[in-house]
Amino acid sequence: MEKSKKENKGFISWFKDNWEHNSLFSTLFALLVMVLIQCVVMWNNAGSFAGLFPKMRMAWLNILRNNAYAGIIALGMCFVIISGGIDLSVGSMLCCLGAILLYLIEPNFGLLLKIGLTGPLAYALSIIVLVCIGYVFGHLNGSLVAYGKLPPFIATLGTMKIFRSVTQQLTKKFNPTVPAGFKAITSTKINGQVILPIIYWITIVILMHIIFKKTAFGRQTIAIGSNERAAKLSGINVNMTKRNIYSLCGVMCAIAAIIYIARIGSMDFANAGNGYEMDAIMAVVVGGTAMSGGRGSVIGAFLGMLITGVMNNILNSVGVPTFLCEAVKGVIIIFAVLLQKKDNA
Amino acid sequence: MNLFMHKINKSFGANNVLTDVDFKLNSGEICALLGENGAGKSTLMNILGGVLPADSGTIEIDGKEVNFESPVDSLDAGIGFIHQELNLVNDLTIYENMFITHLPKKGLFLDTAEMIQKTEALFQRMDVDMDPRMMVRDLDASYKQIVEICRALLQDASLIIMDEPTTSLTEPEIRRVFAMMRTLKDRGVGIIFISHKLNEVMEICDRYTVLRDGNMVAEGLVSETNTHKLAAHMVGHEVTTEINTRSGQHGKEVLRLENLSDERHFRNISMAVHAGEVLGVTGLLGDGRSELFQTVFGAMNTKHEGKIFLDGAEIHVRNTHQALDHGIAYLPRNRKENAILKDMTILDNGSIVYLPKIVRGLFIDQKRQEALFQKEVDELRIKMSDKFNLITSLSGGNQQKVVLAKWLMSDPKVLILDNPTQGVDVGAKEEIYQIIHRLADTGVAIIVLSSEAQEIVRVCDRSWVMFHGEQVGLVEGDDMNEHNIMYLATGGNAA
């Protein structure tokens, strides 16, 4: 309804109004600009206009596939940040959950094999178990924050260290393989392409968006991030809601771990998931969510992930050294937050 | 030093805050500056402290006219201003705090020995027994006051303004500060003592000046007056307020408190409120009424003793959602900090309390949400252009009505309204009073917490008056007038 009102005043003022007040709009616009730059770069590389489309198609399949894990985690992170918190443990949690999943489904000495379960039934059970464990891990974070009254940064910094180091110690002599049947979860080709991770990601984006927009839990999440005291004085069970928010983030990590294992087929327990917390935070912030909580959106976190993905793709295509790519990411996140500040004033 | 402020005028916009106010203070004298909230006391003192410029009028010190453009000018002239919220750094020692504005150095480093020695010398002169090496955080509130007073003295202050120094102090702490004030007085320092507590004024002050609506209405020697007269001066005789003419039938008892005490805010509170009744609870700053009812609502984290009964059965409310389940609603004071969800729409703000109850399956039943909210909008006459705009786009009065709406949607048995008309203009105020009466007529038990005596008289059927965490009196019928309330609220019959 806002659109029609503003359009009378001309495109420029409509644009300006949205740019200043609608963070999703500015994120989408930023993505559009990136895609245009990407087109120019691709066109240049392909040498002809006709060569642009297959190149773009491949590039986008890669962007979407490679960012699916961190992208799914970013959705959980998005809830955490909107509630005014932060979860640094997501990367380590992914790694730890991945290890647990491997213990469950390993074809030679896996736990499920020992109780005589194999095939699809075993895989389904392992997925359910893993999601539950992810929920419990998130629950732990949430309880530390809500009932232990720890600052989220400290609580999840602690669990981040715990998840990682315990995983590394317990997997010292662990050299697992992933059964082909489990890999089929992501690697089954559709139209000759591996697109299942992308489908999972987008499905979860839609689910999380609906949770955010349509449930009381979603509204209460914003309320807590917007003004925790007012939320409490509105009869909201702030502690329970916070705990659930972190649990949801844990579930997202579990889903990301399942897709990760199924796609990569192994896990480097020292490095898997390293830096995912920062990638997720970056996607959320670039997507227009305020670190102070209260403002933001799930779709924004999705778009934010795509922006960083496209950015990486462009930098690779023009041959920027890998080390410098990180610097460019840094510039982007700083810009994104500078733009948000304008929104506050 | 002798201070004389002559014909001080100050206005903010069209609002005259001070009109031709005269104020004088001689050295070695303690003068009370009295007045209700908004009478202009703080403005007058901020002008003296160089925080605000006066529109017109002169300030003379020892017969010489001075001109303060900033707090530094005022300090240089020997005026120390001790604000209600103390300006000490908790994480530094006493001596570091004493010298915080210009730390003495020896070469590159701080001259600790000199700071400690000077502080000790001053403490000795002032008969203060404290180790300057103590951390300020380990001091109780009265010693912090004393440190601030000493700091002012160190900066050669010969006139000290104390803004409600005793509100957060316990009785022995108050004694300690008073002893300090007497020492200062003997040393020839003049003190301006701003307070709401008239018996303290009677005890410690030599003279008084009363401000009302920006005018100086009375001054004189404390020895020639009494608390009744002072309270009358503060309220004024000519103030005519509408009084509550409601004759509602009260039903059965809904909420009863028995001997409720917590660690520091309130002690031995017992009261009851009936269905259809509007009960007032009033007092001045630091009376503990807000903390009392936040405890009833489960919003305080402090331990408490005593019993709370709802509909005759004892209840234990540990957090706010339990209170909500019991049908207790609390509209907090300080709307901006405690009630407004600034990032959310008017609709979401107005239905956040009831949201979990209007869920169908997993999702919010948006149609029902909007319908329920619309009912409250019509009922409370909330004016807005679009319920999907942010709450912050509304005026104060309408914001307050939205906050009220979120609680009314939950159909409470007991509605606690803490300063319900704070930051609301006169028209909206009257509307809110009428809403309160309409609600009471439907059988809701209502408790109005307010420091404005006029508001209590206007809206309540009867009212408890609190003073320093204790209930000091019940006013009802003809006794419920501003004079009696002010008399009780200033500790008139305590001590």
Domain boundaries in chain B? 3-235, 253-489
- Give me the percent of chain B exceeding a pLDDT of 90: 37
Confidence at residue A321, expressed as pLDDT on a 0 to 100 scale: 85
Could you tell me if A225 and A217 are in contact, meaning their C-beta atoms sit under 8 angstroms apart?
no
Handedness of CA A315, A321, A323, A328 (dihedral sign): negative
* CB-CB under 8 Å, A210 with B341: no
Residue type, A336: A
Question: Using one digit for the tens of pLDDT, what is the confidence trace for B417-457?
Answer: 998 887 777 677 888 998 999 999 999 999 999 888 888 88
* Cβ-based contacts of A220 with chain B (< 8 Å): 352, 355
pLDDT of B67 above 60: yes
* CB-CB under 8 Å, A236 with B344: no
* Residues 216-275 (B) with a CB less than 8 A from some CB of A: none
CATH of B253-489, one of 3.30.750.24, 3.40.1160.10, 1.20.1730.10, 3.40.50.300: 3.40.50.300
CA atoms within 13 A on the CB side of B328: 29
Domain range B3-235, CATH architecture? 3-Layer(aba) Sandwich (3.40)
Q: How far is A223 from chain B (nearest CA, A)?
A: 6
What's the whole-number mean pLDDT along residues A323-336?
82
pLDDT of B349 above 90: yes
pLDDT of A121 above 70: yes
Confidence at residue B488, expressed as pLDDT on a 0 to 100 scale: 87
Residue B208's pLDDT band (cuts 50, 70, 90): very high
Q: How far is A264 from chain B (nearest CA, A)?
A: 35
Residue A2's pLDDT band (cuts 50, 70, 90): very low
Q: Does the beta carbon of B324 lie under 8 angstroms from any beta carbon of chain A?
A: yes
* CB-CB under 8 Å, A210 with B352: no
What's the whole-number mean pLDDT along residues A46-64?
85
Confidence at residue A1, expressed as pLDDT on a 0 to 100 scale: 40
* CB-CB under 8 Å, B319 with A214: no
Which residue of A222, A224, A233 is the best one to mutate when testing the B interface, meaning the one whose CB has the most B CBs within 10 A?
A233
Question: Using one digit for the tens of pLDDT, what is the confidence trace for B1-17?
Answer: 899 999 999 987 767 88
Q: Which residue has the higher pLDDT, B237 or B58?
A: B58
Confidence at residue A204, expressed as pLDDT on a 0 to 100 scale: 96
In chain A, domain spans: 66-318+325-344
* Residues 293-322 (A) with a CB less than 8 A from some CB of B: 294-295
Could you tell me if B161 and B48 are in contact, meaning their C-beta atoms sit under 8 angstroms apart?
yes
Question: Using one digit for the tens of pLDDT, what is the confidence trace for A5-38?
Answer: 444 567 888 877 777 777 788 888 888 988 999 8
Q: pTM for the whole thing?
A: 0.78
pLDDT of A3 above 70: no
* CB-CB under 8 Å, A1 with B363: no
pLDDT of B476 above 60: yes
B264 DSSP assignment: S
Q: How far is Cα B439 from Cα A143, in angstroms, rounded to an integer?
A: 40
Average pLDDT value over all residues in chain A = 88
Q: How far is A233 from chain B (nearest CA, A)?
A: 6
Average pLDDT value over all residues in chain B = 87
